[in-house]
Amino acid sequence: MPNVIEAVAESSEQTAIVIWQSVVEQIRGDVSESVYNKWLKDLEFVADLEGVIQVATATGTQADRVNTDFIRKINLLWSERDPSGRRVSVASWADLPEDVRELAEEARAEREARISSDATDVTEPALRTSGKTLSFENLVTSESNRLACTIGRKIADGQATPSQTIYFYGRHGVGKTHLLHAIETEMVRNDDPRTAVYMSAEEFMVAFVEGVKRRDTSDLKTRLRSADVLLIDDLQAIAGMGGTQKEFFSNIRAVVARGGQVVITADESPSQLDSLSARVREELQGGVLIEVAEPDEAMRRRIVEMKAAEIAAENPGFELSSEAVDLIVSRVKGPGRQLYGAVCNVFTATTFIGNPVTLDDVSAAVRRQLGDLKPPTIDQVKRATMTAFDVTKTDLESARRSRSIAYPRQIAMYLCRKMTTRSLPQIGRFFGNRDHTTVLYAVRKLEDAVKSDETLRRDIEKVERAIEDILSSAGK
pLDDT tens per residue, range 399-458: 888 999 999 999 999 999 988 878 888 999 999 999 899 899 999 999 888 888 888 988
3-state SS, residue 57: strand
pLDDT of residue 416: 93
69 neighbors 350 (Cβ within 8 angstroms): no
| Phi, psi for residue 233 in degrees, rounded to 5 | -105, 140
Q: What single letter denotes the amino acid at residue 131?
A: G
Q: Which residues of 138-176 are buried (b: 16+ CB within 10 A; e: fewer)?
A: ebbbbebbeebbebbbbbbeeeebeebbbbbbbeebbbb
* Share above pLDDT 70 across residues of the chain, in percent, rounded to a whole number: 88
* For range 340-344, the mean pLDDT: 86
| Residues 211-226, mean pLDDT to the nearest whole number | 86
pLDDT of residue 51: 77
Which pLDDT belongs to residue 373? 59
Give mean pLDDT, residues 64-76: 87
- pLDDT band of residue 112 (cuts 50, 70, 90) is low
Residue among 455, 389, 448 at smallest CA distance from 440? 448
Q: For residue 108, what pLDDT is reported?
A: 60
Rounded average pLDDT over 27-41 = 78
Kindly give, in sequence order, each residue whose CB lies less than 8 Å from that of residue 393, ignoring residues fewer than 6 positions away. Answer: 382, 386
Where is pLDDT greater, at 128 or 357? Answer: 357
Distance in angstroms (rounded) separating the CA atoms of residues 474 and 472: 5
CA-based nearest residue to 346, from 313, 307, 302: 307
CB-count exposure of residue 411 (10 Å: 0-12, 13-18, 19+): buried
Worst-scoring range by mean pLDDT, 263-267, 270-274, 384-388? 270-274
DSSP state of 376: P
pLDDT over threshold 90, residue 79: no
- Higher pLDDT, residue 476 or 102: 102
State the average pLDDT for the chain: 82
Asked whether residue 6 carries a pLDDT value surpassing 60, the answer given is: no
Burial 33-51 (b: 16+ CB within 10 A, else e): eebbeebbeebebbbbeee
| CA 357, chain centre distance (Å) | 20
- CB–CB of 460/363 below 8 Å? no
> Environment class of residue 430 by beta-carbon count within 10 Å: exposed (0-12), middle (13-18) or buried (19+)?
buried
Separation between Cα atoms, residue 437 and residue 431, nearest integer Å: 13
Q: What per-residue confidence (pLDDT) applies to 297?
A: 81
Going by C-alpha positions, the residue among 219, 223, 172, 173 that lies closest to residue 198 is 223
CA torsion sign for 226, 138, 136, 75 is: negative
- Top mean pLDDT of 59-73, 131-145, 207-221, 260-274 is at 260-274
pLDDT of residue 303 exceeding 80, the answer is yes
C-alpha to C-alpha distance for 291 and 365, rounded to whole angstroms = 30
CB 417 within 8 A of CB 427: yes
Q: Residue 40 pLDDT more than 70?
A: yes
Length of the chain: 476
Predicted pLDDT of residue 217: 85
If you average pLDDT over residues 109-121, what whole number do you get? 47
Most confident of 148-152, 293-297, 459-463: 148-152
CA angle 353, 82, 47 (to 5 degrees): 85
The 10 Å Cβ neighbour count of residue 350 is 21
pLDDT of residue 117: 44
Q: Where would I find the H helices in 53-168?
A: 60-69, 71-81, 98-117, 146-156
**Looking at the predicted structure, is the pLDDT value of residue 68 above 80?**
yes
Which range is least confidently modeled, 169-173, 216-220, 274-278?
Answer: 274-278
Long-range CB pairs of 38-41 (<8 Å, 24+ gap) are 39/65, 39/66, 39/69, 39/70, 40/66, 40/70
Query: What mean pLDDT is predicted for residues 117-143?
Result: 62
Q: Are 411 and 453 in contact (CB under 8 A)?
A: no
Q: What's the pTM?
A: 0.54
The mean pLDDT value for 33-53 works out to 81
pLDDT band at 371 (very low <50, low <70, confident <90, very high): low
How far apart are the C-alpha atoms of 126 and 311, rounded to whole Å?
9
Other Cβ atoms less than 10 A from the Cβ of 234: the count is 21
Q: Which residues contact 420 (CB under 8 A, 6 or more apart)?
A: 375, 376, 377, 378, 381, 427
Q: What angle do CA 331, 337, 340 make, to 5 degrees?
A: 70
Specify the higher pLDDT residue, 367 or 320: 320
Q: What is the pLDDT of residue 123?
A: 43
Residue 199 DSSP code: E
- 8-state DSSP, 377: P
Compute the distance between CA of residue 472 and CA of residue 373 in angstroms, rounded to an integer: 7
Rounded distance between C-alpha atoms, residue 354 and residue 359, angstroms: 16
Q: What is the distance of C-alpha 375 from the center of its chain?
A: 25
DSSP run (H or E) holding 444: helix 436-449
pLDDT at 3: 38
Q: What is the pLDDT of residue 8?
A: 35
pLDDT (0 to 100) of residue 256: 92
pLDDT of residue 403: 92
Q: In which band, very low, low, confident or very high, does the pLDDT at 379 lie, cut at 50, 70 and 90?
A: very high
How much of the chain, in percent, has pLDDT values that exceed 90?
Answer: 27
Could you tell me which residue, 245 or 406, shows the higher pLDDT?
A: 406
**Per-residue confidence band for 236, with pLDDT thresholds at 50, 70 and 90:** confident
Whether the predicted pLDDT of 349 surpasses 90: no
Q: Is 287 left (phi over 0), alpha (psi -120 to 50) or beta?
A: beta
Cα–Cα distance measured from residue 48 to residue 45, given in angstroms and rounded to the nearest whole number: 9
Q: Measured between alpha carbons, how far is 36 from 28 in angstroms, rounded to an integer? A: 6
Query: What pLDDT is attached to residue 13?
Result: 47
Q: For residues 31 and 326, which has the higher predicted lDDT (pLDDT)?
A: 326
Please state the rounded mean pLDDT for residues 179-194.
92
